[in-house]
Amino acid sequence: MLRGAGSWITIVTLAALATPGVAADYVAPRGPGGEHPDLNGIWQALNTANYDIERHLARHSMQLRDGPHGPLPAVDLLKLGAVGAVPPGLGVVTDGPLPYTPEGLAKKRENAANWLERDPEVKCYLPGVPRATYMPHPFQIQQSAAAILIMYQYANAVREVYMEDVGEAPVDSWMGQSVGRWEGDTLVVEVTGLNDQTWFDRAGNHHSDQLKVTERYTPVGPHHLRYEATIEDPVTFTRPWKMSMPLYRRMEPDARLLDFRCVEFVEELMYGEWRRQPLPRP
């Protein structure tokens, strides 16, 4: 055996096993229809992308104000104490920093400075794509031979991935219009028709209604998907950029989506001042 070849084979094998528990040549069981991998299941991201998609150290709060020795939590968030702190994250953006236009960056900073008032998550608005994927809630993929539906526990958001051309989206929507196709064992989803109301995270990262998201879902093991999303928005960014993260299968035997219809939890905030007998408000 040639030593060179042996070393080469060793290096390749080691690289393939660099992700623990995942074989490079994993072939997922086929789903309904027998042709494509089975994506059915309850999945969840396990990262802090919803706080901030870029790599970040821990922070005092989701909204800050200047203190005598550095930033401090904004007044409205003070009583949350350490519960209100932002955990650190390695980030999910693979080719950052985010390539904002100057106006885009200015708006991001304004968003962050006014997070409590502006983040649509505070009002339980639908999260849009890709944020729905990495909300701290599970989601369920329902796949049949002809159709794919993604149902999110968060705000019972839902979107169908049409597996055929359905033309231009007639109006913009919160969850956009998703059209999918298979490239080998990767489900590629193109999302257009997104409105400009959603954010990427709680750090104020935003987009325009020209956003186009191209997602790729690839099984990499019996209980893991690799999720990638390419973001194109020529109004907000100077070039496309990408994010990537594992998605983990929820392994509990009774795993299922529960109700998180947060609309009822935000009624006091949004409408409480108009009760016949309003409660004290900050």
Partner 1 sequence: MNTLSGSLAGGLLAAGLAGAAMAAEIPRTPEGRPDFSGTYNVATLTPLQRPEMFGDNLVLAPEEAARIAEEEAARLAEDLERDDPNRGAPPKGGDGSTGAAGNVGGYNAFWIERGDGAFQINGEFRTSIITDPANGRFPTMTAAAMKGLMERRRFYRENTGEAWWLEAGGVGPYDDPELRPLGERCLLGFGSTAGPPMLPVLYNNTKRIIQNPDTVVILVEMNHDARIVRMNAEHAPPDQRFWLGDSIGYWEGDTLVVDTTNFRNETAMYNATRDLHVVERFRYGEDGQLIYSFTVEDPNVWTEPWSGEYPWPRTDDRMFEYACHEGNYALGGILRGARILEQETMDAKPDAGSD
Partner 2 sequence: MNQTLATILAAGAVALAPVAALAHHAFGAEFDPNRPLVLRGPVTKVEWVNPHTWIHIQVEKEDGTSEDWMVEGGTPNTLLRNGLNKRSLEPGTFIVVDGYQSKDRSNRANGRNVTLENGEKIFMGSSGTGAPRDGADPRERR
Give the binding site for partner 2 (CB under 8 A): 168, 170-172
- By the rule CB under 8 A, 82 interacts with partner 1: no
Question: Which stretch in 17-25, 68-76, 95-103, 274-282 sits in contact with partner 1 by CB under 8 A?
Answer: 274-282
Could you say which of 22, 28, 72, 151 contacts partner 1 (CB under 8 A)?
Answer: 151
- By the rule CB under 8 A, 32 interacts with partner 1: yes
- By the rule CB under 8 A, 251 interacts with partner 1: no
Instruction: Give me 157's structure tokens.
Output: 């958001």
Strand pairing class (177-183; 158-162): parallel
Q: Which does 6 bind (CB under 5 to 8 A by kind): partner 2, partner 1, none?
A: none
Which one, 33 or 97, has the nearer CB to partner 1?
33
Cβ contact 57:51 at 8 Å: no
Nearest distance, CB of residue 176 and partner 2, angstroms: 14
- By the rule CB under 8 A, 124 interacts with partner 1: yes
Phi, psi dihedral angles at 152 (to 5 degrees): -105, 135
Please enumerate, as own/partner, the contacts of 23-30 that have beta carbons within 8 Å and a separation of 24 or more.
Answer: 23/221, 26/219, 26/220, 26/221, 26/222, 27/185, 28/185, 28/219, 28/222
Instruction: Give me 82's structure tokens.
Output: 């350490």
Dump strand ranges (E) for the chain: 41-45, 64-67, 70-73, 139-143, 148-152, 158-162, 177-183, 186-192, 212-221, 224-232, 241-249
- By the rule CB under 8 A, 35 interacts with partner 1: no
- By the rule CB under 8 A, 269 interacts with partner 1: no
Q: Which does 265 bind (CB under 5 to 8 A by kind): partner 2, partner 1, none?
A: none
Which residues bind to partner 1, rule: CB under 8 A?
31-34, 40, 123-126, 140, 142-149, 151, 156-158, 160, 166, 170-171, 173-175, 197, 256-259, 261, 263-264, 267, 270-272, 274-277
